[in-house]
Structure 1
Amino acid sequence: MEALMKPSKVLMASSILRHPVLVPHDSNIKETLIDPCINGTLNVLKSCSKASTVKRVVLTSSCSAIRYRHDAQQVSPLNESHWSDPEYCKHYNLWYAYAKTIGEKEAWRVAEENGIDLVVINPSVVVGPLLTPQPTSTLYLILALIKGKLGEFPNQRLGFVHIDDVVASHILGMEERKASGRLICSSTVVHWSEIIEMLKDKYPFYPYENKCDDRKGDDRPHSMDTSKISELGQPALKTISQMFDDYIKSFQEKGFL
C-alpha cells in the first residue's frame, strides 16, 4: 500500500505469464489461473482507489478479451467495443481468454465504482527480442515450434505485435491525456502455419513443426481495428517479419537457437 501513496500514475502489467496454448485443461484451472488473474487486478485497483495521489491506472489486458466470439469474422474488424464471450471460452476450454475477459470486466467495474481513471491496453501475442534471462511462455512456445519440440503447432489464428510497440502503447496510455477506455495494440492476424512457412523461407535450417493440432474454437478468421490508438499518436506498428526477425536474432545471440 505504501508504494501506492506517492505515484500519480500506476502501471499494472499482465498478471498471466503463460501462453494460452500452454494453459492446462485441468480441474484446478480456477485456482491456478482464473482467481489469481481477477483477484490480483482487483487488489491493486482497490489499493489505488485509497491512494489520493493516483490519477490514472494503466492496465495490461489482452486481445484475448476481445476476439473469442462466434461472430468474430462477421463483425471484424474487431474494435474496443467488442468483448469475448465467456460462454464461448468455456465451451472451447479457452481458459486464458476467459480469465482475461472476466478479469478486465471486473477491473472496469471497480474503476467505475471508485472513480478511477482507467486505461486498458489490449495487446495481441507479444513477439520480439528476449529481454529476460529466460524466455517468457509465449517466446518459449515459439522456440519449441521452431525446434520441433511439441509434435504439432496450434490451430490458432491470432494477432501478433512487437514488444517495442507494446511498450510504446503503455507509455501513450500513461502520458497522453486524451487516452481513455480500451486501446487495441495488434499488428497482422495470421495462422501459426503461416508463421512457420515464413520462418522456413528465411531460416530453413531449423526442424520446424509441420503438423497442426485439431483444437477448435481458436482459428476463426478476424481482424483488429487499431485506429483508436493510432489516432492518439501510436507509431506505425512493426510487421510480422520485423518482429520475428528480431526474435530469431536475439535467440541466436543468446544461444537458444
Structure 2
Amino acid sequence: MAPASFHQSSKNTVCVMDASGKLGSSLVQQLLRRGYTVHAAVQYHGETQFSGFCSESNKLKIFHSDPFDYHSIIDALRGCSGVFYTFEPPQDQLNYDESMADVEVRAAHNVLEACAQTETIDKVVFTSSATAVIWREDRNSMDFDLDERHWSDVNLCRKFKLWHAISKTLAEKTAWALAMDRGVNMVSINAGLLMDSDLSIKNPYLNGAAEMYEDGVFVTVDLNFLVDAHICVYEDVSSYGRYLCFNHIINCHDDAVKLARQLTPSTPSLPQNSDQGMKIIQQRISNKKFNKLMVDFEPSRVDFFQSETQSY
C-alpha cells in the first residue's frame, strides 16, 4: 500500500478521462473525497454533472476534452501527475460494431501519446476489459486458469463477431505498445461486466455471454469495487502490468437467472429446475494478482456509493 501521505502531497492532481460515464464520474467523486485535485475531462456534459461533488470548487476543474482532439487532451493533462483513462463511445456511434475497434484504438493512441508528451505524468491507469483476456481457442483445454497474462485471440473474436472483445484487445495492445515505446508508466485494469443501474441486454460485453458462462469465465464487478481498484493501482507504487478485476463470477444457474431477470425484467420467469440450480460450473479465471494488491487498501469513504445492483 502506498504511504498515507500519497494523495496529500504536492503531486495530488490527476485527470479522469472520460469523466462523462458512470465509472469516470464515480472516480472523480471518490478522488475528491481522498483529497485529490481532479481534472474531469468530459465529452458530452458540463459542470452540472458534478454539482455537489466537492465543497471546495478549486479541487475540481472541468475540461471539455475529445479523445480525437489531441490538443484538448493536452489541455486536460497539463499539471497532472496521474491519468485515469476509460473509453466512452462517441454519441453518434454508441453500438459496438466492426468499425468501433478503429475508433477505440485511435482514442487510446491519442491519450497515451499525450501522456508521453506531458512531463508531469507519473502514472497512467488504463481501463480495459476481461473480454481482452478470455477469448482463446484453447481456453477449454488449458491446464491452468486464465489470468492477466493471457490475451484474447483477435481472429477468433472476428470470426464470431465479438466486436467488444476486438476493440478492447486492440486498444489495450496499442496503449501498451506506445507506453513501452515512450517510457510511460502504465497499469491496466481488465474489468469484468460492470454491474450498475444502466446495465441492459444491449451491453456489448454480453456478446458471447452463454459461452462465457459455460466456460466458467463470466465475471462481473460492482461499481464501488472497480473505483477502489483504480485508486489502489494508482496509489500503490508496486503495481505493474495488467490486473484482472472482478468480485463475482456467474457460474451457477441461480446467478444466471438473476442476471437474466435484471437484463430483461419484462420476460416471464422460467420454471426452476432443481438439478440445474445445484450445478456449479468450475471457475476458469483468476484474479489472484489483483487480490494480493488490494489486501492493504483502505477506501476513504463510508458508505459513499449506494449499491445500485442486485447482490448475488
- Whether the TM-score (by the shorter chain) exceeds 0.5 is yes
Question: How many Å separate the matches in 2 of 1:62 and 1:201?
Answer: 24
Q: Which residue of 2 aligns with 1:181?
A: 241
- Contact kept, 8 Å, 1:61 with 1:123, in 2: the verdict is yes
- The Cα offsets for residues 97-116 of structure 1, whole Å up to 9 and x where unpaired, read as 01111111111000000000
SS in 1 for 2:189: strand
Query: 1:188: Cα distance to partner?
Result: 3.6
Larger RCO of the pair (alpha carbons < 8 Å, separation 6+): 1
Q: 1:62 to 1:201 in 2, by over 3 A?
A: closer
Q: Which residue of 2 aligns with 1:247?
A: 309
Q: 1:191 to 1:91 in 2, by over 3 A?
A: farther
Aligned to 1:229, which of 262, 265, 290? 290
- The Cα offsets for residues 121-154 of structure 1, whole Å up to 9 and x where unpaired, read as 00110114x3xxxx2xxx02289xxxxxxxxx95
Q: Which residue of 2 aligns with 1:93?
A: 161
Q: 1:99 to 1:229 in 2, by over 3 A?
A: same
Q: Give the aligned residue type for 2:309.
A: Y
**Gapped regions of structure 2 (runs ≥ 5):** 1-73, 271-280, 298-306
Q: Which residue of 1 aligns with 2:190?
A: 122
* Greater share of residues in helix: 1
Q: Give the aligned residue type for 2:181.
A: E
- Contact kept, 8 Å, 2:261 with 2:267, in 1: the verdict is no
SS in 2 for 1:74: coil
Q: 1:141 to 1:120 in 2, by over 3 A?
A: same
Q: Does 1:7 align with 2:80?
A: yes
Question: How many Å separate the matches in 1 of 2:113 and 2:156?
Answer: 29
Query: 1:155: Cα distance to partner?
Result: 2.7
SS in 2 for 1:107: helix
Q: 1:192 to 1:2 in 2, by over 3 A?
A: farther
Question: How many Å separate the matches in 2 of 1:61 and 1:229?
Answer: 14
Aligned to 2:178, which of 110, 116, 138? 110
Q: Which residue of 2 aligns with 1:62?
A: 129
Q: Which residue of 1 aligns with 2:210?
A: 155
Question: How many Å separate the matches in 2 of 1:37 and 1:193?
Answer: 34
- Stretch deviating more after TM superposition (185-194 or 52-61): 185-194
**Gapped regions of structure 1 (runs ≥ 5):** 144-152, 211-219, 237-244, 250-257
- Contact kept, 8 Å, 1:15 with 1:41, in 2: the verdict is no
- Contact kept, 8 Å, 1:73 with 1:222, in 2: the verdict is no
Q: Which residue of 1 aligns with 2:108?
A: 41
- Contact kept, 8 Å, 2:123 with 2:186, in 1: the verdict is yes
Q: Give the aligned residue type for 2:178.
A: V
Q: Which residue of 1 aligns with 2:139?
A: 72
- Contact kept, 8 Å, 2:250 with 2:256, in 1: the verdict is no
Q: Does 1:168 align with 2:228?
A: yes
Rg (Cα) greater in structure: 2
TM norm structure 2: 0.58
SS in 2 for 1:72: coil
RMSD: 3.4
Q: 1:181 to 1:37 in 2, by over 3 A?
A: same
Q: Give the aligned residue type for 1:228.
A: K
Q: Give the aligned residue type for 1:229.
A: F
Q: 1:208 to 1:7 in 2, by over 3 A?
A: farther
Question: How many Å separate the matches in 2 of 1:200 and 1:170?
Answer: 28
- Counting only pairs closer than 5 Å after superposition, residues 199-214 of structure 1 correspond to structure 2 as 207-208=267-268
Q: Which residue of 1 aligns with 2:24?
A: none
Q: 1:165 to 1:70 in 2, by over 3 A?
A: same
Q: Give the aligned residue type for 1:247.
A: T
- Contact kept, 8 Å, 2:251 with 2:283, in 1: the verdict is no
TM superposition outliers: structure 1 runs of 4+ over 4 Å: 191-194, 199-202
SS in 2 for 1:121: strand
- Contact kept, 8 Å, 1:63 with 1:124, in 2: the verdict is yes
- Contact kept, 8 Å, 1:72 with 1:221, in 2: the verdict is no
- Contact kept, 8 Å, 1:169 with 1:234, in 2: the verdict is no
- Contact kept, 8 Å, 1:58 with 1:120, in 2: the verdict is yes
Question: How many Å separate the matches in 2 of 1:101 and 1:201?
Answer: 29
